[in-house]
Structure 1
Amino acid sequence: MTEISPRRLNRTLLTRQLLTERVTMPAAELIRHLVAVQGQEANWPFIGLWTRLTDFRTAELDALLRDRTIVRATMIRRTVHLATAADYRWLYPTVRPAVESQLRLAYYREAVEHLDHTELRTAGRNLLTGRTLTRTEISRTLAERFPTPYPERLPAALGLLTPVVHNPEAGAWGAWRNRRVSISLAEEWLGAPLDAPAPDTMILRYLAAFGPATVADVQSWSGTTKLTEVIERLRPRLRVLRDESGRELFDLPDAPLADADLPVPVRFLPAFDNALLGHKDRSRVISDADRARIAKIASGGVPMYLVDGFVHGRWDLDGDTLRVTPWHPLTPAEEAAVYAAAEELLPVVLPGGNGEIRITPA
């Protein structure tokens, strides 16, 4: 069984994530390749597409959301993602048990544990049939029938009980905070019923964009459990490698493995980028020590940048300043490359503005 080094895993991940060089590809095709793009903060997916595509324009993704080619909804890891409408139809049913399991969390339990979930689901579906409503409208109407100390949590709970999608404006390019979210029944929005769960498809598609990977990696990325049996069933169709610690890594048999010495450019990534969250063991792209730096704030999203393929620090938009914070020293050549990449990013995050770039000392 072939052993694969950490550096080769890094280059392979960057290649499959289309981060070694920008490509010419429609945005919808890229989202399909990545399976689902995390997007609870609406602007971050636009940065993730821009850093991978040669000619991406924000208007392209806005149009895909409006014409329903791309949908925004809760999916993998029980968080808001973008996916093609075709993929959502099988992906959501595949991860639905994990999504519904959130009802056991205190936030939802406090609001709905005393309510009949079947009645709440039915009432919510009746309310949304033929309509797109804001969370405030849903909360106000459902609270009249389902009294709770936390009526503002009812729309979110309903979204765990039945598949819903967000209105296009909630995911459009624009303000970085305070988006109004309206929701619709997924089947009505898509104009088609959802498909049966497809765990085999999910795993094979994941490996194409994130492999080679362990069972734990697939489970961490998807937010689901009990995938060992599925992967064992797929084993005859997969290539099996080992990492330096001896763990089995599964992959598609014809998927390319990149050269460990492949040159890679500086890349600025959005918070929650696929490349950063696609594995349980993320050491192929970020060290455990650097993950520990941001552990307390990671849930809020930390945009980072890569030098030589690995996370080197973070970046933030502070008013009109794009602030780069290295976690490790930069050579003069590396600093020049980081600055040049930041110059490319600046007009994207501050369109039409007169921003500046500041690199703080490591």
Structure 2
Amino acid sequence: MAIPRAAREVLSLRALNRATLERQMLLERRRLSATQAVERLAGLQAQAPNPPYIGLWSRIEGFRREQLTEALRRRRIVRMSTLRATLHLMTAQDALAWRPLLEPVHQRGLLGSTHRKELEGLDRAAVIAAGRVLLGERPRTGAELGQALGLQWTGREAASLAALIRNNLPLVHLPPGGTWNSHQSAVLQPLGDWLGEAVEASPATQDDMLLRYLAAFGPATLADAGAWSGLTGWKAVVERLRPQLRVFAGEDGQELFDLPRAPRPDPDTPAPPRLVAEWDNLLLSHADRSRILSEAHRARVFTVNGIVRGTVLLDGFVAGVWKIERGKNKGRNVANVLLEPFGRWSKADRAGVEQEALDLLAFTSDDESERRVVRLA
């Protein structure tokens, strides 16, 4: 029997904050492998090569950069377009299982892109088939793929032809592309060709994805699930799963869905200072980000040119942004973390953030002798 809406337990903003931080491994660093962490987090956005490494550093005890690089090389983790039609690191099994389900997201993204007009009137099936043949011959960069297709479809923009292939075939960015400090153009190969027969996974359903989403980001609304995945149709999913779920109410009365046994810490659980990576899914996986980020600070984190800045968490909420600057002074390498607080920090909070910043500089450094400094803007 369904619980009347008025009788449901109400979860405060702090309760949602602590539940999300616990599942995102930001209340306490965990002893996990890179692959285990990426699976538990349901992927890491990988718009640029370095942020996923920092994202794992902030969550895994004793994490080393080579652990993720090795997982990419051993094909346990792949970098490819998945959730929201954006680049993510996913486990090989999740990539195989989820990418077919996310096909509508990629098609919608292509139609909403600058390539739409250029692709009008094109025999898309023929182009896709040709792209598959070209990539079957050897892995290629997007530019190489577009140029090769342009020889067959003269007069069409090579970039648009390549975009058509990228949005219709599951393509992996092969390492060393996507690894630490890599700035080379991505070399692309179909997911099945890269993984071969060593990895098997049954296609996921949207029901499966909702359960994984709630495990990593719940409690959450249906709109939140859509913001995380880019998929629609969540109402039918939740009605099928409702008997398996626990339903709460938010402070504004909205329905919040969760797994019955998922952790929901006490709202007063201490949350240590954390530096969260750029483009971290912590800030990209809810339609309502207020459990982590005040709307008043949104424009200082999400920039007009599409950057999602690295953030400072204090008491679990975004309280500033950070960036690393490296250079030389009198011939010596110097590394700075520039902190930009959104308000006044206590002495204890500042000390905690500065220690995290120094630890981050050590993690990102290839020079043990460099001078490391933390500065406040």
Residue 102 in structure 1 maps to residue 109 in structure 2: yes
TM-score (norm 2): 0.91
Cα 1:99–1:194 change in 2 (3 A) is farther
The 5 Å alignment of 1:160-309 reads: 160-175=167-182, 178-192=183-197, 195-297=202-304, 299-309=306-316
Match of 1:327 among 320, 329, 342: 342
Instruction: Say if 1:313 and 1:326, in contact at 8 Å, map to a contact too.
Output: yes
Match of 1:136 among 131, 143, 146: 143
Match of 2:373 among 331, 336, 357: 357
Measure, in 1, the Cα distance between the counterparts of 2:42 and 2:58: 17
Amino acid at match of 2:280: D
Structure 1 unaligned runs (5+)? none
Write the deviation string for residues 247-279 of structure 1: whole angstroms up to 9, x where unpaired.
000000111211111011100010111212121
Amino acid at match of 1:71: V
Measure, in 1, the Cα distance between the counterparts of 2:292 and 2:280: 12
Cα 1:157–1:24 change in 2 (3 A) is same
Cα 1:298–1:136 change in 2 (3 A) is closer
TM-score (norm 1): 0.95
Measure, in 2, the Cα distance between the counterparts of 1:93 and 1:195: 11
Q: How big is the shift at 1:26?
A: 0.8
Q: How big is the shift at 1:314?
A: 0.5
Greater alpha carbon shift after TM alignment, 9-18 vs 134-143: 134-143
- The 3-state SS of whatever aligns with 1:161 is coil
Identical aligned residues as a percent: 38
Structure 2 unaligned runs (5+)? 1-7, 327-334
Match of 2:5 in 1: none
Measure, in 1, the Cα distance between the counterparts of 2:205 and 2:371: 46
Amino acid at match of 1:27: A
- The 3-state SS of whatever aligns with 1:169 is coil
- CA RMSD between the two structures: 1.6
Write the deviation string for residues 85-130 of structure 1: whole angstroms up to 9, x where unpaired.
1111111111111112122124121332232110110000011114
Measure, in 2, the Cα distance between the counterparts of 1:306 and 1:130: 47
Measure, in 1, the Cα distance between the counterparts of 2:165 and 2:304: 28
Measure, in 1, the Cα distance between the counterparts of 2:195 and 2:145: 21
Measure, in 2, the Cα distance between the counterparts of 1:144 and 1:169: 29
Measure, in 1, the Cα distance between the counterparts of 2:100 and 2:176: 25
Measure, in 2, the Cα distance between the counterparts of 1:272 and 1:153: 25
- The 3-state SS of whatever aligns with 1:196 is coil
Measure, in 1, the Cα distance between the counterparts of 2:305 and 2:346: 27
Match of 2:58 in 1: 51
Greater alpha carbon shift after TM alignment, 90-99 vs 74-83: 90-99
Match of 2:355 among 331, 340, 346: 340
Write the deviation string for residues 300-340 of structure 1: whole angstroms up to 9, x where unpaired.
23111101110011001222321111111111111111111
